[in-house]
Structure 1
């Protein structure tokens, strides 16, 4: 059986395209090497320039110092939110180094609650919130921040808030209904 060959496609070469491409590449190579240097008479010394990766201002180290009196009340007002809901319990105070403190809320009716926890110290504080034997929140909070947790109570309950600190600290928390 004789072989039938398929017709060959012919490519047209365009020499102008190759010239345009080489001129564009040469122009790119020339312009990327341009640099303006101005001589102001000073000697050229390679000095490292500082690089700033964070645009925030550094925090005042005293911001996490525990406070007392009116300063404590001002701090509490600034870290606990102005709530839209009904506030059932608010507590704040100071703790000695390596102290553990346990407090209880009053009777809370069933519902959904927001617990805002905050501390002021150079370290972390541990917060454990319990409803009877049930542990609802177990949190190691970095002081200088506040944390809001939402809990659902299916029946009337009394919450127990246990706080533990290593250095001296201030604490604050609020229980409000959502």
Structure 2
């Protein structure tokens, strides 16, 4: 078996130790470095003449979902039920008191595809239920501040039963239009 001289082993270990020490020193020295570049924007330091930055996620207006009346109600309905190219067969909107329920029926509808557009304005959800005979087409607790469109196909001479219920004061709007 060949023997390895002691001096070559210690030189290898010394070289490894020096290499490790050098890598450790370079790593420590470079941890404080950061690359900076000019992105074309001048850096601004806050002064009295420069307004402070604002948070991108601004809080919502607390009155945004409060029910309204009169001209404000008409304006809100025009916004949430915009014009449609289809034929409108039934539309209604109004105000509900807390724990109030409103029900009504449409006239006989011809066969076809319909868009049922629903919207509400209230701090709480509003329940919409649309059915014909014993068939429930829509059963929805709508989060107010948004509109919802459901598309359904109806056979000839169907009468829709529409029910709207609110646990707290609310505005509601809905439309039944043919697509």
TM-score range, shorter chain: 0.7 to 0.9
- Look up the match of 1:43: none
Question: How much has 1:55 moved relative to structure 2?
Answer: 2.8
- Look up the match of 1:98: 99
- Identify if the C-alpha distance between structure 1 residues 71 and 26 changes in structure 2 by more than 3 Å, giving closer, same or farther: same
Unaligned runs of 5+ in 2: 1-14, 35-53
Look up the SS of the partner of 1:73 in the other structure: helix
Is 1:70 aligned with 2:48?
no
Distance 1:101 1:169 in 2: 12
Distance 1:143 1:103 in 2: 21
What does the per-residue CA deviation read over 1:35-85, in whole Å, with 9 as the maximum and x for residues that have no partner?
8xxxxxxxxxxxxxxxx9x83322111111111111100000011132121
Is 1:88 aligned with 2:89?
yes
- Identify if the C-alpha distance between structure 1 residues 31 and 96 changes in structure 2 by more than 3 Å, giving closer, same or farther: same
Displaced runs of 4 or more, over 6 A: 21-25
Distance 1:129 1:25 in 2: 72
What does the per-residue CA deviation read over 1:9-55, in whole Å, with 9 as the maximum and x for residues that have no partner?
xxxxxx9xxx6x986775454222348xxxxxxxxxxxxxxxx9x83
Distance 1:124 1:175 in 2: 21
- Identify if the C-alpha distance between structure 1 residues 140 and 22 changes in structure 2 by more than 3 Å, giving closer, same or farther: farther
Q: Report the TM-score, using the length of structure 1 for normalisation.
A: 0.72
Is 1:132 aligned with 2:119?
no
Question: Aligned-pair RMSD on alpha carbons?
Answer: 2.6
Question: How much has 1:117 moved relative to structure 2?
Answer: 0.4
Unaligned runs of 5+ in 1: 1-14, 36-51
Look up the SS of the partner of 1:57 in the other structure: coil
